[in-house]
């Protein structure tokens, strides 16, 4: 997989080859060209020999030199090839150049005519007009950024053909060109670039010379400047007028920048040449500069959870190894194989910390480079990946990659991230840094999806509106989550209690109340969500009731797996959860702070519930949340023993002076009817809450039973 993420690699062409043997022939020279360092994924390896063509350097073709391919000998072990060619001149200038060509001169490369990569539909090219690469260069244009009327696209015999109109006149040479040939011959031995541009310095534009092939010479014609960044172009000899032939320098590469404007032809004809026919071949998918929105097949596949689970199933074993792949088109995702993934061993890194800043920076950099996502992100930054796509990663990427993930170049190219497991070390539980990066990715417009085997669903990370936290939500429920008023259930993980019937009736009553009130938190269009800690006991009751009533069932789940120290009752996730976020135990307090409930509901509970109760008090006192009502399910005597003594002591000692009003936010109820009476008054703006409301001596308000 990593082999193609190199600047030298294109899979339809080889590197340039050099002359290693030569001898005279009747027409010119018989030469052997050696091509080395051929990419292991060069498509030509698998094609019949009659679909592999030697493409002569256009610098030589513009001088009138041509070649005929004889034979190709492959050496797969050394990734090399030897090509037998006959080089022959079409005129005096090329004859002089042929004499100067020496051993070691780089004269061309192989092109693989892969019919599977031919552009079939003109729409593929048309959508590239008016688009540019990251440097503002047109992806495809003739004569101008928006394209040109001189470029005509037709579909002929199942392939797209462009007919490029020629300008009047032809190109000739100044007499000084002969003095330049020895320099050019040396430049070819060094395989220097830009030789074609130097050759242009000796061109003469001949506007009145007709575009007819001269006898015993090459015809050089010109079109408007051509830019191609997304395809290979190849002259179609069969569609030229009878008697015309193009030289073997007939392939334009996808790095052609306003220079693909000269074509070299020869033959015998009295018919004036009007245009040049070109056919096109697509690049490797990651280099096509294709927009994510254009990938209909990929978008369709991403809507099907089965296709994503199947894609991840191709990741190589063992399952604890880190693995990633960058996908840019639907067929690529459908045909993923184990060797398409980049994998890494999950080594542990011992960072020395900020007391050793130089070592820390070095080890962090090594750690980043070891991640399987790094080669893809680096390739995007280096311009080797230009198509927009998605990152599939077995584990959620390390937050140390945040700098790269949020860079300008990567955010333009990376459209989605999919992962299977939040952590290699902690399983389903995210770290604090993970959650911070999820927020950043969301704000930078990079959606993140959890391919969750436990639920069998694809879950999208969605930020709570105007909150610095979010949950992973099933795709079909994302808009429900964004618009929902959130109720919550706090209570014991050990005891379910006997509240399920009343909680069901309460939430059912709220659903019915929507059509009778008009409040920012409740209208007839407002969906409801219910959030718990995701464990057993009271939490399971809450999630079960929500699921039964069609309310979005959510959970903030903590890693309560058994530890060596401390008294922790392991809290297995209950089976009634739709949307979730997970936390490691060291971030228990942060998890609690991220509930952000609109309407909390307390069931009897222990130490954890006491903390949650106090936190809701503090939120209202400090104004960090709206002053909404809180319902306490249970007998008044239970809540007096839980709350009253503390409230009264604080009141007597003056430690809550000025904030005793917080007590009017809590309402003790035993039935759904009582709870609905409180909520109805609240949604009708008739509930006395806040500083102007009463102080309740018990620390909470008693609701009479009707």
Q: What is the CATH number of the domain that holds 80?
A: 2.40.30
Residues 412 and 348 in one domain: yes
Residue 528 lies in a domain: yes
The stretch 348-369 carries a mean pLDDT of: 81
The stretch 452-460 carries a mean pLDDT of: 95
Q: What is the CATH number of the domain that holds 154?
A: 2.70.40
Torsion angle (degrees, nearest 10) of CA 53, 56, 57, 61: -140
Residues 239 and 270 in one domain: yes
**To the nearest whole percent, how much of the chain has pLDDT over 90?**
77
Q: What is the CATH number of the domain that holds 666?
A: 3.40.50.450
User: pLDDT tens digit string along 35-60?
Assistant: 999 988 899 999 999 999 999 999 99
Residue 72 lies in a domain: yes
d(CA 139, CA 493): 60
The stretch 201-212 carries a mean pLDDT of: 94
Residues 153 and 105 in one domain: no
Residues 441 and 314 in one domain: yes
For residue 138, give its domain range. Answer: 122-169+210-283
Residues 290 and 277 in one domain: no
Which stretches of 495-596 are assigned E, i.e. beta strand?
528-532, 552-558, 579-583
Residues 361 and 238 in one domain: no
User: pLDDT tens digit string along 663-672?
Assistant: 999 999 999 9
CB 31 within 8 A of CB 87: yes
Residue 156 lies in a domain: yes
Residues 262 and 298 in one domain: no
d(CA 574, CA 546): 13
Spell out the residues 6+ positions from residue 185 whose beta carbon is closer than 8 angstroms to its own.
Answer: 97, 100, 101, 102, 105
Last residue of a domain, one of 390, 418, 453: 453
Last residue of a domain, one of 283, 299, 316: 283
Half-sphere exposure of 544 (CA within 13 A, CB side): 15
Q: Give the residue among 34, 4, 10, 40 at the shortest CA–CA distance from 20.
A: 34
- Among 251-255, 308-312, 402-406, the minimum mean pLDDT is found in 251-255
Residues 544 and 675 in one domain: yes
Last residue of a domain, one of 421, 453, 485: 453
Residue 524 lies in a domain: yes
Residue 190 lies in a domain: no
If one compares 147 and 193, the residue with the highest pLDDT of the two is: 193
Residues 435 and 301 in one domain: yes
Residue 609 lies in a domain: yes
pLDDT level of residue 253 (50, 70, 90 thresholds): confident
Which residue(s) pair with 88 in the sheet?
A: 66
Q: What is the CATH number of the domain that holds 341?
A: 3.40.140
Res 146: pLDDT: 47
Residue 197 lies in a domain: no
In the predicted structure, residue 567 carries a pLDDT above the cut 90: no
Residues 533 and 596 in one domain: yes
Q: Give the residue among 330, 326, 320 at the shortest CA–CA distance from 295.
A: 330
User: pLDDT tens digit string along 464-511?
Assistant: 988 889 999 999 999 999 999 999 999 988 777 788 999 999 999 999
Residues 583 and 544 in one domain: yes
- Mean pLDDT, rounded, of the chain: 91
User: pLDDT tens digit string along 649-700?
Assistant: 999 999 999 999 999 999 999 999 999 999 999 999 999 999 999 999 999 9
**Structural domain count, the chain:** 4
Residues 222 and 304 in one domain: no
Residue 650 lies in a domain: yes
């Amino acid at each position: 997989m990593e082999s193609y993420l190199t600047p030298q690699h294109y899979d339809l062409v080889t590197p340039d080859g050099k002359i290693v043997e030569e001898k005279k022939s009747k027409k010119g020279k018989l030469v052997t060209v050696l091509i080395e360092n051929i990419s292991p994924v060069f498509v030509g390896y698998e094609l019949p020999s009659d679909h592999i063509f030697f493409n002569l350097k256009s610098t030589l073709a513009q001088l009138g030199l041509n070649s005929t391919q004889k034979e190709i000998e492959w050496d797969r072990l050394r990734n090399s090839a030897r090509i037998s060619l006959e080089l022959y001149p079409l005129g005096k200038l090329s004859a002089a150049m042929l004499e100067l060509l020496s051993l070691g001169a780089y004269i061309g490369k192989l092109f693989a005519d892969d019919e599977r990569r031919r552009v079939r539909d003109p729409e593929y090219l048309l959508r590239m007009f008016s688009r540019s690469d990251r440097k503002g260069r047109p992806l495809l244009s003739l004569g101008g950024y928006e394209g040109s009327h001189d470029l005509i696209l037709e579909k002929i015999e199942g392939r797209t053909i462009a007919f490029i109109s020629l300008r009047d006149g032809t190109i000739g040479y100044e007499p000084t060109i002969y003095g330049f040939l020895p320099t050019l011959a040396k430049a070819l031995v060094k395989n220097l670039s830009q030789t074609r541009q130097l050759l242009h310095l000796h061109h003469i534009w001949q506007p009145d010379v007709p575009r007819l092939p001269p006898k015993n010479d090459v015809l050089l014609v010109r079109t408007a400047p051509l830019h191609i960044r997304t395809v290979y172009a190849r002259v179609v000899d069969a569609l030229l007028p009878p008697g015309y032939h193009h030289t073997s320098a007939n392939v334009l590469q996808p790095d052609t920048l306003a220079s693909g404007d000269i074509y070299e032809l020869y033959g015998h004809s009295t018919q004036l040449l009007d245009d040049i026919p070109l056919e096109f071949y697509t690049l490797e998918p990651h280099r096509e500069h294709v927009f994510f929105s254009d990938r209909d097949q990929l978008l369709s596949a991403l809507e099907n959870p089965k296709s994503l689970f199947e894609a991840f199933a191709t990741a190589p074993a063992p399952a604890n190894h880190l693995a990633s792949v960058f996908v840019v088109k639907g067929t690529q995702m459908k045909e993923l194989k184990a060797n398409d993934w980049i994998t890494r061993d999950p080594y542990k890194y011992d960072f020395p910390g900020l007391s050793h800043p130089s070592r820390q920076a070095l080890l962090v950099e090594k750690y980043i480079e070891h991640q399987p996502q790094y080669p893809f992100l680096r390739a995007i930054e280096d311009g080797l990946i230009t198509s927009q796509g998605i990152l599939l990663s077995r584990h959620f990427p390390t937050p140390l990659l945040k700098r790269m993930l949020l860079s300008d170049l990567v955010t333009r190219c990376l459209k989605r991230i999919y992962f299977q497991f939040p952590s290699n070390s902690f399983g389903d539980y995210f770290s604090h840094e993970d959650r911070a990066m999820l927020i950043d990715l969301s704000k930078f417009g990079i959606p993140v999806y959890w391919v969750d085997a436990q639920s069998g669903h694809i879950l999208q990370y969605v930020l709570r509106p105007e909150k610095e936290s979010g949950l992973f939500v099933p795709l079909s429920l994302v808009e429900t989550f964004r618009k929902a008023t959130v109720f919550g259930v706090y209570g014991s993980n050990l005891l379910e209690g006997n509240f399920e019937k009343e909680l069901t009736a309460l939430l059912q009553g709220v659903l019915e109340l929507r059509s009778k009130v008009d409040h920012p938190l409740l209208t007839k269009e407002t969906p409801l969500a219910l959030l718990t800690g995701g464990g057993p006991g009271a939490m399971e009751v809450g999630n079960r009731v929500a699921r039964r009533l069609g309310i979005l069932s959510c959970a903030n789940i903590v890693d309560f797996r058994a530890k060596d120290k401390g008294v922790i009752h392991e809290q297995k996730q209950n089976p009634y959860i739709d949307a979730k976020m997970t936390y490691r135990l060291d971030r228990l307090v942060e998890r609690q702070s991220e509930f952000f409930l609109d309407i909390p509901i307390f069931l009897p509970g222990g130490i954890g519930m006491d903390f949650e109760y106090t936190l809701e008090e503090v939120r209202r006192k400090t104004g960090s949340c709206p002053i909404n009502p809180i319902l306490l399910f249970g007998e008044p005597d239970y809540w007096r023993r839980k709350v009253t003594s503390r409230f009264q002591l604080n009141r007597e000692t003056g430690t809550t002076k000025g904030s005793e009003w917080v007590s009017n936010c809590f309402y003790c109820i035993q039935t759904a009817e009582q709870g609905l009476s409180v909520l109805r008054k609240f949604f009708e703006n008739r509930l006395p809450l806040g500083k102007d409301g009463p102080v309740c001596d018990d620390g909470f308000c008693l609701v009479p039973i009707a």
